[in-house]
Structure 1
Amino acid sequence: MASQNWTEQTKWIWIPNYNDSHPQSPGQFALFRKSFNLSSLTSEKCFIHVSADSRYRLFINGASVAFGPCKSYLEKWYYETVDIGPYLCEGKNVLSAKVLRYSATQTANFSLMRANIPGLVVHGKVQSKDLSTDESWRCILDESSRIVPASEWNYMLGPPLLLNNETVDGSKAEANWQSIDFDDSHWSSAVFQSARAKMLPVLDPWKLTGRPIPMFSEIPRNFDSTVRSGGDVGIKSWNDLIRTNAPVHIGPLQTVFAELQVLAFTTGFLELHLSGGIGTKIRIICAECYEQDLGVDRSPWPLPRSKGNRVYHENSRLYGLEDTYIVNSESGDVCYEPFWFRAFRFVRLEITCHNAPITIKRFAYREFHYPLEISTKISLSPILDDMWKISLNTLRNCMHETYEDCPFYEQNQFIADSRLQMLFTYQLSHDDRLARKTIQEFNASRRPDGLLEAQFPNPFRAVNIPQFSLYWIWMIHDHMRYFNDGSLIRAYIGTVDGILHYFHSRVNEKGLVGKFDSEMWPFIDWVDEWKDTRDFKNMALPASYQKEGVATFNSLLYAMTLNAAADLCDYISWPDVAAEYRKRSSSLNEVVNKYCFVDGFYTDGTVGSSKSQHCQVFAVLSGAITGDAARELVLRTFQATNLPKCSYALGFYVFEAVAKVGLLEDMFQTLIQPWTKMMENNLTTWAEDSVNSRSDCHGWSACLVHVFVAHIFGLTPATPSYKYLRIDPLRSLLSSAKGSFATTLGNLSIEWSKDKGILLSSTTDMGVEVVVHGSTQHCRLIGGQVYSF
């Protein structure tokens, strides 16, 4: 293994004479090679460390061994540790890397941080051969590959937040450049890349640290079937290709297409194997679903898209991200892979031959997700079980090196989305590594005003959403309940107080949370009635905010979070601070009740303003209204037909409020209607919201994971870290149910049926309190035994 200070000793390298602000592309590719000879092989592991700015794929003797670095920020720039031993051979070997560098001066890809200079760093030895990056590495700019710039973006898909689709001209490619026998004599020697200066205390921009989450497998998968095709190649031929690798032959001057599907939305690396066809143009379009055909392929501005049944392809079209490849092979085999993983349920492969025939030998993908080991398994009813599966698939596809709002359009990590996704993973698995990374990253984004960046990592200063910082405090609270880690709370309690201080400073003369800084976006929720096309910073919030500088929701969310922060302070024995937070919360609730409650409803602003479902839900959660009055408010809220409704983004909080007043069993079928409707429209992941036709896979919509675990089965921590479990199932909702659940104390099984009580068993000893017909019974389960209540 490497010495402790290798990160200081090993040099970053890059290609000479590099222009980081290329006007034609926001991202460029560089190729690197290091050849070495081995006289013999050993069985010892051969570890190397590797990182790059912005992104690399590492090969040893042509085999891909790593894709990274794990998303991060400059003060914690991750490297991967890779064992290349299994790929080595006697004689000549070659270590190679393809590096995508995003420009530090262009706004492409809002989810990848980059420094003001590019670089690749490798450290390690194989036997006596030093593989560390230095001038002996060979390098060249990849002139064949280009990231499509925002000027060529298809704006009917929305803003160009991701920008990782590419055009590749095979005639300019360095064919077989990863192979051992490739002649790199026309390549340049690498140059050192550093910001350090003689006699000055300047460091390189990247502070290297080991990757905190596991490496991801890339699992080979095939497409399931062909939906439709065009040209001289029929559906059967395409099905034979994707199922048995039977080659598809396309003659000169022909244009054909195939639209292929997987049974459920996924993310993965596409790979297209072909031979011949010099001059052929291949377009690959990845799409989430079939949708209304708008009569155009692309648009310089957003168009009103419409999605219904996601698999209905008659008079419909696939819209999505596009990669283009120009073939240069006359007869030899070629494999084209877009560099970045793609999100898709359908893929359109369109091939326009020039003067030479082409043979498609294989078209497949390698599935790519965070390797979450899901231990929780449930069985409820056929429909609810399908909802569970869709929820898991949604969550899985929104988990890579960060939690993602959506894998298709942004791949950004937002606080509000991540808080929910983290909580859902706690109910499925013992693995909190990605959650810890997320908490730490947002903490590192802390601003001078005490708030956190709503989205992070983020390479550029962006409009902030202040309320999202409050959801970060809930991240800490959730982790306390499920993992009982006091050191984590102590590490971040200062940030918690800074966030709360910011909101305290915004309290106006009436005692309500008032306006935020003008450059911020006080986003609350995607609601049809809250649309304002004049400025996006006026969207997704009630009119009262602009009219009078108050949105009641903000005061309620702040009050609710103050109570969570008080719990954290109690946990670390800060009773005086906890008391202060609860006093603030109580004061806010009193003021909200004084100024923002009229005719039986909470108003969006002070008395006389509009009303929405949002304020009723969060008044219950904040404790502004309690007991029978809260229950009656929830009933009135869902009987009212004129209240703007919470979207899927806040669906979790709707379920929580209804459960808090004891109405979840009565209202369950009503509350799951949006998810039922999505199933009727053949979604295999849950959509972003019902207001627009954007993302078909959005993590916050997987809240049914929590609903099923915490409410139907009634399993929640009675004390932090599941030291004591509370089990209060909704048994009258279903005649029978069974499940096995991941807890930090071991797996717990819960089962009931009409003729039995609640049956519990566990793999380890654990304490439980079980609620049966309103009566709480306490018991200590002994691992391996079954208990009946």
Structure 2
Amino acid sequence: MSPSGFWSAGVNSQAEETHGLFRKTFHLDRVPARVPARLTADSRYALFVNGQEVARGPIRGQPRRLHYDFVDLAPYLQPGVNAVAIYVKYYGTPTSFWMPAVPNNTLGTSGILVFEADLSATGWLISDASWKAQKADAWSIIGREGTSHGGGVPVEVFDARRLPHDWQAVDFDDCGWNAAQVVQAMHVGGFARSQPPTDPYGPLYPRPIAQLDGMVRTPESIQVEVLAGHQERLAGGPIACVQAIVDVPISTSMTAASLPISVDVPHDGMVRLSFDMGHVVSGLVAFEIQAPAGTVLDFSYTEDPLRTSVSMDKMSAGTRYIARGQHDRFEVFDSNGFRYAYLLIYSTWGPLTLTHFAVREQLYPWQAGASFECSDEILNRIFVAGKRTVQLCSHDAFIDCPTREQRAWVGDPVVHQMVHLATNSDWRLARRYLALANSPRSDGLLPMVVVSDIEARGSYTIPDWSLHWIHGLYNLFRFSGDQEVVASLLPTAERILRWYLPYQTSSGVLKDISEWNLVDWSSVSTEDTSAVLSALWARGLREFAEMAGWLDDRGRQRWAERVYARIADGFKLFWDAERDSYVDHIVNGEQRPEMSQLAGALAIVSGLAPQDHWLRIVETITDRARLVVRSWMGTGTGEQSMEKWQQQVREGRYQIDWDVEREIVLAEPFMSYVVHDAVAQVGRADLLPKLYQRWSQFLADGYDTIGECWDFGTHTHGWSCTPTRDMIFYTLGVTPAEPGYARARIAPRLGQLSWAKGRVPTPHGLITVVANAHSVTVDSPVPVVVELDGQMPRTLAAGRYELSVH
């Protein structure tokens, strides 16, 4: 690719957030049929051609695995003069979705741009010194206000008076701008290269996933409130200011049906507008206002209605905009997720008009075709809510939530991945999850979050998150059958599994595993010798052995089988014969009574539990009379949760507040995927439609998404969407019988449902299944193994069949 542009007069001595504007004008006698262009930036760019947005990028990735985007500029060009304009934001310090490169003498401490376009007969347009560049000072930094847990989405503070509104236009006068500076790699062995590949970025990789897109969402209701006085309370960033006046008396109030809205800001007063989007949205906030120059607009974005006290996980994103007095239309650069937006207007008084407020969603697209529907309308709502939730958590990576963090955790996405495999014909993001997270530490474990402030710190990790990544690799093996990808990632999986070996006792199970063994937000006891961690490791070894065998890698297969056999011998130590399941752990050589759903479920899915125990275990762990919701994080208010959290972090105290001799701790929504896997594996998938019903608790107060935990957390968490996966895999019963869907397994288990139907994506096309109490209709592009309840399995060629249930 071409040379890199750089807007600073010199290299920053310390990394800081900076904003660069680039422009290039050129003449075309005619527009070619295609104008292929490639570009990337450190950190993020927005590309405009003749004032029209064309693309944003690049996707998140480790600095040495930087990606570029490929776009066709032809639809945006015109005969005559054209202008390419690019805004580049360099974050400087790590965020929840970006981490800086390790700098050399020139590259890695400030923003760069790399661009090239083939203009056909006109020649090549490249990012060289002929471009005009300007370091913009319209943005300012207010610290880390609102960024949860030290990271989170940056708060954008923008003074429109300091940036011309038309800098992207063809006829904008940029004669006062500087020439872009070409940056050379200045280090031993760098040869002063000014084009990729260079350190610290290495070779650039093509974008492997689709461009983000989505609907433009407008508010369902708007509340307008005039507040008198109290500007003396305002200090700090936009979130703090909006929070500071929660309880200020309201002079007048009205509900607006739609925009535009005209109001008068009283002398020394303020106006607050409250937008309810009707449901959680995620994307770029855009607004337009007619107001005097210097008017301050402070936005705060929340999942819940604003109250006097808002915990940090509910209020962590915002924007400040200072009006230029004309042409005040703005779109926030970084994506925000919220249901409610609060706008506080102050610093000037008199009439003003808000003419536009909307969110342009930036989500990973779903290919049309896949579907599910059944006789239970509540389950239909849960299915749709799970799909919507996972899409809201599908950006350029699988993220935990669009509202609080937007981090790419390594364990959470295994559920996102399976929902994609079940409902979206585009599996590229499901593959990307594995490649992005393949960033092991020197000891072989993966960071708990990749491409973020957490990976940049190199701090402790969640070891079991790496085991979920192995399960994600196993999913890819089963569903795609891509031998090359699986073979390339198998060494990482082996290093993860070998990391656990020093913790294996003479009895074969795991003891005293270091770092943060989260497992689930439910109160699972992992201290000392852990059944849950031993079983998760065993599942990983078992899946690793199967993949190695499939690749004819017998050495790796035999090694994993030997280690697994040692665990199987010792796992019986956790069996509680009186309660028909496994306890969570052993402390000082004595079996402790704490028992969770997960100990029994993982014993089944890992194959450690003898098959004659399976049905007894499932009956035990699904007995509603014995199940209790408990979390080490706590329930109730955010303050109570944080107090319990601090007890664990600082004091190592885990408070048991349930009857450990009789009660069993229910898995939270995330690890419920393992519980449901176990129920299906023992042949009781017919029980699952009843278990799905619990997820209906999230569909209240207008929310149409699935929340993080049973009693707390965000309203939109992709790791909680197990029922959406299960309605395809277990209720409709469509899964691969052979890797890559060379053959499909069709085993519908309706339970109390009268009927279910759906279309399921495979690499070969959609499989259609319609099932009721009397018959099952299958239309498949691949051979199928049909397993109807009470009947022997039958193998059928590709085609359409109607089969009797009786």
Question: Scaled by the length of structure 1, what TM-score is found?
Answer: 0.86
Q: What is residue 265 of structure 1 aligned with on the other side?
A: 280
| Match status 1:620 vs 2:609 | no
Change (3 A) 1:491 1:320: closer
Amino acid at match of 2:283: G
Q: Deviations over 1:420-453 (max 9, x none)?
A: 211221111332212222212222x122212222
SS in 2 for 1:648: coil
1:233–1:333 CA distance, 2 compared to 1 (3 A)? farther
**Displacement of 1:719:** 1.5
Task: Give the conservation status (yes or no) of the 8 Å contact 1:13–1:121.
Answer: no
DSSP 3-state at the match of 2:380 = helix
Contact 2:670 2:722 in 1 (8 A): no
Provide structure 2 residue ranges, at least 5 long, that are not aligned to the other structure: 193-197, 228-250, 628-662
| Matched letter for residue 677 of structure 2 | E
Q: Who is 2:633 aligned against?
A: none
Whether the aligned pair in 2 keeps the contact of 1:72 and 1:113 (CA below 8 Å) is no
Q: Any conservation in 2 of the 1:286–1:322 contact (CA below 8 Å)?
A: yes
- Which residue number in structure 1 is paired with residue 235 of structure 2? none
1:208 and 2:204 correspond: yes
1:709 to partner: Cα distance: 0.7
Residue 131 of structure 2 corresponds to residue 137 of structure 1:
yes
One-letter amino acid matched to 2:787: V
SS at match of 2:447: coil
How far apart are residue 345 of structure 1 and its match?
A: 1.7
Counterpart in 2 of 1:611?
Answer: 594
2:333 aligned counterpart, secondary structure:
coil
- Which digits, 9 at most, give the CA deviation of each residue in 1:475-532, with x for residues without a partner? 2211111111222222222222222211223213332222345xx32222213x4xxx
Cα distance in structure 1, aligned partners of 2:446 and 2:493: 10
User: Is 1:651 equivalent to 2:678 in the alignment?
Assistant: no
Residue 220 in structure 1 maps to residue 216 in structure 2: yes
- 5 Å-filtered alignment, 1:327-726, equals 327-329=323-325, 332-352=326-346, 354-380=348-374, 381-443=376-438, 445-458=439-452, 460=456, 461-517=458-514, 520-527=515-522, 529=523, 542=525, 545=527, 548=528, 550-594=529-573, 597=576, 599-600=578-579, 601-606=581-586, 607-613=590-596, 614-639=598-623, 640-641=626-627, 642-666=663-687, 668-669=689-690, 671-690=691-710, 692=712, 694-726=713-745
Give me the whole-angstrom Cα distance separating, in 2, the residues matched to 1:738 and 1:446: 42
Separation of aligned partners in 1, 2:262 and 2:116:
44
1:759 offset after TM fit, Å?
Answer: 1.8
**Counterpart in 1 of 2:630?**
none
C-alpha change, 1:738 and 1:353, in structure 2 (3 Å) is same
More displaced stretch, 384-393 vs 592-601: 592-601
Q: 1:66 corresponds to which residue?
A: 55
Partner Cα separation in structure 2 for residue 59 and residue 453 of structure 1: 36
TM-superposed CA distance for 1:655, in Å, is 1.0
Distance in 2, matches of 1:688 and 1:148, equals 30
The SS at the match of 2:463 is: coil
Question: Structure 1 vs Structure 2: percent identity of aligned residues?
Answer: 23
1:88 positional shift:
2.1
Post-superposition offset of 1:691: 5.1
Asked whether the equivalents of residues 16 and 190 of structure 1 are also in contact (C-alpha less than 8 Å), the reply is no
Contact (CA 8 Å) 2:7, 2:134: kept in 1 or not?
no
| Inter-partner Cα distance in structure 1 for 2:100 and 2:786 | 48
Distance 1:785 1:622, change over 3 A: closer
Q: Give the SS at the match of 2:64.
A: coil
Name the SS for the 1:467 alignment partner.
Answer: helix
Number of equivalenced pairs: 722
Change (3 A) 1:197 1:737: closer
Residue 535 of structure 1 is matched in structure 2 by: none
Q: How far did residue 19 of structure 1 move?
A: 3.5
> How far apart are residue 772 of structure 1 and its match?
2.5
Distance, in Å, in 2 between the alignment partners of 1:574 and 1:17 is 52
CA distance in 2 between partners of 1:99 and 1:706 (Å): 38
What's the CA shift for 1:734? 0.8
Instruction: Give the equivalent residue in structure 2 for 1:759.
Output: 777
Shift of 1:196: 3.0
Counterpart of 1:286 in structure 2 is 301
Q: Is the alpha carbon distance of 1:429 and 1:637 closer, same or farther for their aligned partners in structure 2, counting shifts above 3 Å?
A: closer
Contact kept, 8 Å, 1:14 with 1:193, in 2: the verdict is no
- Is residue 2:318 matched to residue 1:322? yes
2:688 and 2:731 in contact (8 A); partners too: no
Asked whether the 8 Å contact 1:59–1:95 carries over to 2, the reply is yes
Q: Structure 2 vs 1, CA of residues 358 and 680 (structure 1 numbering), >3 Å: closer, same or farther?
A: closer
CA-based RMSD: 2.6
Picking from 787, 790, 796, the partner of 1:771 is 787
Task: Indicate how the Cα distance of structure 1 residues 431 and 725 shifts in structure 2: closer, same or farther if over 3 A, else same.
Answer: same
CA–CA distance in structure 2, aligned partners of residues 281 and 774 of structure 1: 69
Residue 398 of structure 1 and its aligned partner are, at CA, apart by 0.7
Q: 2:8 aligns to what?
A: 15
Structure 1 residues 210 and 782: alpha-carbon distance in aligned structure 2, compared to 1, 3 A threshold: closer
Aligned to 2:645: none
Once the two structures are superposed, the pairs formed by residues 18-37 of structure 1 within 5 Å of their partners are 19=12, 21=14, 27-37=17-27
> Are the equivalent residues in 2 in contact too, given 1:686–1:698 (CA < 8 A)?
yes
What is the TM-score normalised by the length of structure 2?
Answer: 0.84
Question: Quick one: distance in 2 between partners of 1:220 and 1:667?
Answer: 36
What amino acid is the match of 1:554? L
Q: Distance in 2 between matches of 1:276 and 1:136?
A: 38
Distance in 1 between the 2:377 and 2:224 partners?
A: 30
- Residue correspondence of structure 1 range 150-189 to structure 2 within 5 A: 150=144, 153-154=145-146, 158-189=148-179
Conservation of the 8 A alpha-carbon contact between 1:15 and 1:188: no
Q: For the residues of structure 2 that align with 1:626 and 1:683, how far apart are their CA atoms?
A: 42
Q: Tell me which amino acid in the other structure corresponds to 1:661.
A: V
Alpha carbons 1:559, 1:586 under 8 Å: kept: no
Q: 1:112 to 1:776 in 2, by over 3 A?
A: farther
Q: Which amino acid aligns with 1:758?
A: V
- 2: CA distance between counterparts of 1:396 and 1:259? 26
Moved more, 710-719 or 123-132: 123-132
Whether contact under 8 Å (2:153, 2:406) holds in the other structure is no
Q: CA deviation at 1:588?
A: 0.6
TM-superposed deviation, 1:319 = 3.5
Rounded Cα–Cα distance in structure 2 between residues aligned with 1:777 and 1:598? 34
State the shift of 1:13 in Å.
Answer: 2.5
Q: Secondary structure at the match of 1:416?
A: coil
- The superposition leaves residues 50-85 of structure 1 with CA deviations (integer Å, 9 ceiling, x where unpaired) of 111011111112111111111112222111122222
Q: How far does the alpha carbon of each residue in 1:338-374 deviate from its partner, in whole angstroms, 9 at most, with x for none? A: 1111112222223226145322221122121111214
What's the counterpart of residue 96 of structure 1? 85
Does structure 2 retain, via aligned residues, the 8 Å contact 1:12–1:194?
Answer: no
DSSP 3-state at the match of 1:373:
coil
Distance 1:448 1:746 in 2: 41
Distance 2:222 2:337 in 1: 18
Q: 1:400, CA displacement in angstroms?
A: 1.1
- CA 1:49/1:361 → structure 2, altered by over 3 Å: closer, same or farther? same
Secondary structure in structure 2 of the residue aligned to 1:581: helix
CA pair 228-597 structure 1, distance change in 2 beyond 3 A = farther
How far has the Cα of 1:178 moved from its partner?
A: 1.4
Q: Which amino acid aligns with 1:98?
A: Y
The change in CA–CA distance for 1:732 and 1:211 in structure 2 (over 3 A counts) is: closer
- CA drift of 1:735 comes to 1.2
Aligned pairs for 1:740-759 within 5 A:
740-754=759-773, 756-759=774-777
How far, CA to CA, are the matches of 1:419 and 1:179 in structure 2? 44
Q: 1:112 offset after TM fit, Å?
A: 4.4
What SS is found at the alignment partner of 1:769?
strand
Residue 35 of structure 1 deviates from its aligned partner by 2.2
Deviation at 1:596, TM superposition (A): 6.0
Unaligned runs of 5+ in 1: 1-5, 306-317, 530-540
Partners of 1:204 and 1:89 lie apart in 2 by 37
